[in-house]
Amino acid sequence: MTTDAKYEARRFDACDQSAIDTAVLERLPFDYPGSATAVAYETDEFTSVCPWTGLPDFGRLSITYVPQRHLVELRSLKYYLTSFRNVGILQEHAVNRILNDLVALLQPSSMKVEAHFNERGGVRTHATAAYPALP
């Protein structure tokens, strides 16, 4: 048996994107609309999994936005981000999914979601998604 054949059938189960818990997200009123306040959330503990192998992807995630009328409630954001833990999603898709979910919830003036994923197979990934879209 070759080494490749030994690992061909081995994989870890991964959830599909329906496991991402958007229902847990809550928003709070922002008392300073029009103030151009920039809000940033960062975590070194973002995880998801490769959709093909189920192997974990670890990354540093930052979310920066200018609120209009709403802020995201932090506990709900933590639970939401944790729901990605076993989801099979491409790294580039994860930042876009987070951006889309948070823009729908908050309707900010602008938002940027950026992730620096740890090296896997000799390659690191840095993905950024922005609203409004970058030119």
| Catalytically annotated residues | 50, 57
Q: What is the largest distance, in Å, between two alpha-carbon atoms of the chain?
A: 65
* Closest among 111, 98, 94 to 48, alpha carbons compared: 94
Identify whether the C-beta of residue 52 lies closer than 8 Å to the C-beta of residue 10: no
Decide the pairing of beta strands 39-49 and 70-72: unpaired
Q: How many CB atoms lie within 10 A of CB 61?
A: 22
